[in-house]
Amino acid sequence: MSTVKTRFPPSPTGHLHLGGARTALFNWLFARHHGGTFLLRFEDTDRERSKQEYVDSIKEALEWLELFWDEGPYFQSKRLDVYAEFARKLLEEGKAYYCECSPEVLEQKRKQALAEGRKPKYDGTCREKGLGPGPGRVLRFRCPEVGTTVVEDLIRGPVAFDHRELDDFVIMRPDGVPTYQFAVVIDDLTMGITHVIRGDDHLSNTPKQILLFEALGAKPPKYAHVPMILGPDGTRLSKRHGAQSILAYRDEGYLPQAMRNYLVRLGWSYGDQEIFSLEEMIEKFDLARISKSPARFDPDKLLALNAHYIRQEDTHRLAELVVPFLAKLGVEIKNPADEKFLKAVESVKPRARTLKEMAEMMRFYFVDEITYEEKAAKKFLKPEIAPVLEEIVKALEGMPAFEEKALEDLFRGLAEKHQLKLKHVAQPVRVALTGRTVSPGLFEIMDILGKETVIKRIKKALAFIKEH
């Protein structure tokens, strides 16, 4: 195999979403697996909708996923002279021609063809007119009228297209801007792309692109069309399935390694293995293992995978990552390497599914005032528990060693004395300390909060009980 070169060519008309990110990942992995090159280029010839903010956002998303490109980014808008040169070559060789049919006339022809039960394709009106350039004229590719083009697809096998189904498609618009079909071929040709891995919605474009390569006397790249991603209900993936842009997942507190792992498994598999490091993905990735069936997006599976990677992550690294999420909740952490902070991170690490969730779980450690969840306060901060809480405060004040084991012994002893189950003593204290009924282990959080804060918060809960 010659040196592999793949590309990811997004249109900067929106943010990078799951489908595009998976395409980028597959191209990146294929290039890395074969020791090749991965190229980034922006298909930005739609001047109305292409925006710099989307260019920046797509690059940021790829960098967050650690899919770094070796070449580019290239921009089609800066290569118009290259397309013009190749268009001129096709025109001079009689492989393209100018067409003066107006959009109104073309629409009329389309409607008539549909009414007569024919395929609504261009009828070749200007094919033999020998027209030159002029206002409103487009350049069309002279498609072979008979024969077949076979796409040797690396995923689904050979797919044949009858030339009678194709038409003389436009390659250059009146303003000198190339159409997608033409620009992509010239880019892939001049940039030396060997493999095109893309969504199967592009399969119908491929015979046209192969014909253009052949007309230019060039060998087309190898094509692999990946089945689309569907929502959990089996329809095309969209926002209503909870799918969002890649950067939105980052901002929700997903880890890049979790997102990569999830994306690679959307339509690709390696036996029963579910968890892959980046090194393993590069080593094992090949096109033969891509499924011919559409993949289904499962947000719960992505969340579970993210929880796995949070549990696996180094605590010091997690501490740094969660700081911005705490800042959004009004908690400023000056030193993420502080021992108390690291203990707090460690306490929620097995329970949090996202960094955002982790920050919410940890917030109670660092605020001056606890707000009780209404249901929790109603259920556990009742007058009958007040005497037990008062006894706990007295016992804590006299404790020489404020440690998890000693705290547990104290609580068990009090529960026994008052003929209560441990949970009936522990839950009111948990609510007093965290405001919630769910938290890390009670004695663990007491140890992290420290004696002074624990006593202060239980006293505040006693005051709350008396007031209510």
Query: Annotated active-site positions, please?
Result: 239
DSSP labels for 151-199?
EEETTTEEEEEEGGG----EEE-TTSPBPHHHHHHHHHHHTT--EEEEE
- CA dist 255 and 310 (Å) reads 8
Radius of gyration of the chain (CA): 32
**Cα dihedral sign for 182, 27, 45, 165?**
positive
- CA dist 91 and 301 (Å) reads 53
Q: Are 415 and 421 in contact (CB under 8 A)?
A: yes
Edge-to-edge strand ranges of the sheet holding 170-172: 96-99, 138-141, 170-172
Going by C-alpha positions, the residue among 364, 360, 311, 317 that lies closest to residue 342 is 317
Could you tell me whether strands 295-296 and 229-230 are parallel, antiparallel, or unpaired per DSSP bridges? Answer: parallel
What tokens does 186 get? 């010239």
Going by C-alpha positions, the residue among 2, 28, 73, 4 that lies closest to residue 264 is 28
Which residue bears the tokens 């599976």? 301
Question: In this structure, how many other beta carbons lie within 10 angstroms of the beta carbon of residue 346?
Answer: 15
Instruction: Say what the alpha-carbon torsion angle 315, 316, 320, 325 is, to the nearest 10 degrees.
Output: 20
Q: Are 417 and 457 in contact (CB under 8 A)?
A: no
Which residue bears the tokens 């044949």? 160
Q: Which residues pair with 162 in a beta bridge?
A: 148
Backbone angles phi, psi at 236, to 5 degrees: -55, 135
What tokens does 268 get? 């690709």
